[in-house]
Amino acid sequence: GLISIYNATDLSFVKYLLIKTSTIVKAIKKASKNITEFQQEDAKFIVHRFARLNGFPAIVCKSTEESIIFGHIAGMITVWDKKKWKNEELIFTHGKNITGIEIVDNTIISTSMSSSIRKNDLFTKQLIAECKLDKRPLVIYTVSADKILIGLETGEIQIYDEKLNFVKRKERIVPVSDLCIMPKNIAVASRDGEISILDIKNMKLLKKVKHHKKSIQGVFYYNGRLITIGDNSTICFLDTELNELKRVELEEKPAKLHQVKKYIIITSNLVLDLQNDNVIKGEVSKETEDEIEETSLFRIDFSHGDSSIFVNHDRLKREINSDIGAHYPMEIINSIHNLIESQDNMQYKKINPYSVLRQGQSFK
């Protein structure tokens, strides 16, 4: 792709582009059947207009105090002035679709399906550094100016410094299989059988232990204990320090686990009684499940190994009545408050390179 920015007032810039064979220029040539009608217009406007005609939608974007930076298909980056809502600059810095953009210390760091990372000055748009990758990058996240994380299509995470020099890699990120809110902490289960405890305010890892040989299907908190249920049909009762208290083997494989008050539904006809630690035959009535749904304060969703916590902020703001109190101990309600307060009430907030917590207003 092309790197330079031209401020030409004639078509010498466009004629120069038409000689080249980059993806963007081929698309412009295809879109333009009669270039002479644009003879009197600014060259940057011409390129942008051709891009719109040929359909170059934005894929990713980032915002600064003054500008919004869009990454498009075909390797194009546009910089828009927030006040004027006008396209100020175009950058042809990659040959294929932009997959990620980060703004750090007045620089634009971008990744592309052309297996490249490039760093451009936000104001001059000149190229500062670049790096060619073996695999295609799908996501970028900057921890700091000298710590840039790149997620590859293989699932590998690579770390680069401010000059885009390779630092190190983490080859395997184990997907999250379940999580639950505890007093002051969050318990996170993974598909490799490990259970981790994270501080609810800063998401720092406090402890990690492996009690299951296979993936953990569910992790639950009840009355000072954690209960984990694995794919290997094993139930483990743990204290809050992840020490094993008791182990129960199931005769059936668990399916669609969820907790209803003092019970955990294991299958359609098996229920774990958390007061007696016994697996009994039976099922929870639909009326009870509907009641829980109507008073639920949060929901946890999972997608491609990641997890999101959706808090019903409107319900949480209301005065805590007997209905909610019956389903959530005060220590858990306080944890939910701490979870929200730790995010400074922002709707979306990245906590660390691997987790994002979201605060929502309603369940829909």
Nearest to 25 by CA among 111, 90, 118, 107: 90
For residue 351, what pLDDT is reported? 45
Q: What domains does the chain contain, in order, with CATH numbers?
A: 12-170 (2.130.10.10), 176-358 (2.40.128.630)
For residue 16, what pLDDT is reported? 46
Q: Evaluate whether 244 touches 262 at the Cβ level (below 8 Å).
A: no
Mean pLDDT of the chain, nearest integer: 74
Which ranges constitute the DSSP H helices of the chain? 12-19, 23-31, 43-54, 286-295, 313-317, 322-327, 330-341
Tokens 């092309």 belong to residue: 2
Low-confidence ranges of the chain (pLDDT < 70): 1-56, 171-173, 291-292, 295, 302-307, 313, 316-327, 341-364
For residue 117, what pLDDT is reported? 94
Q: Evaluate whether 2 touches 17 at the Cβ level (below 8 Å).
A: yes
Q: What is the pTM of this model?
A: 0.52
* Intra-chain end-to-end CA distance of the chain, in Å: 43
For residue 132, what pLDDT is reported? 92
The arrangement of strands across the sheet holding 166-170 comes to: 137-144, 147-152, 157-160, 166-170
For residue 341, what pLDDT is reported? 67
Q: How many Cα atoms sit within 13 Å of 331 on the Cβ side?
A: 10
For residue 331, what pLDDT is reported? 78
Q: Can you tell me the distance from the alpha carbon of 150 to that of 171, in angstroms, rounded to the nearest whole number?
A: 12
| Residue 135: DSSP 8-state | S
Q: Evaluate whether 355 touches 207 at the Cβ level (below 8 Å).
A: no
**pLDDT of 105-143, one tens digit each?**
889 999 999 999 999 988 888 899 999 998 899 888 888
341 phi, psi to nearest 5 deg: -65, -30
Q: Can you tell me the distance from the alpha carbon of 10 to that of 264, in angstroms, rounded to the nearest whole number?
A: 72
Radius of gyration in angstroms for the set of CA atoms belonging to the chain, rounded to a whole number:
26
For residue 109, what pLDDT is reported? 92
Q: Is 295 helix (H, G, I), strand (E, B) or coil?
A: helix
For residue 311, what pLDDT is reported? 75
Q: Above pLDDT 90, what percent of the chain?
A: 14
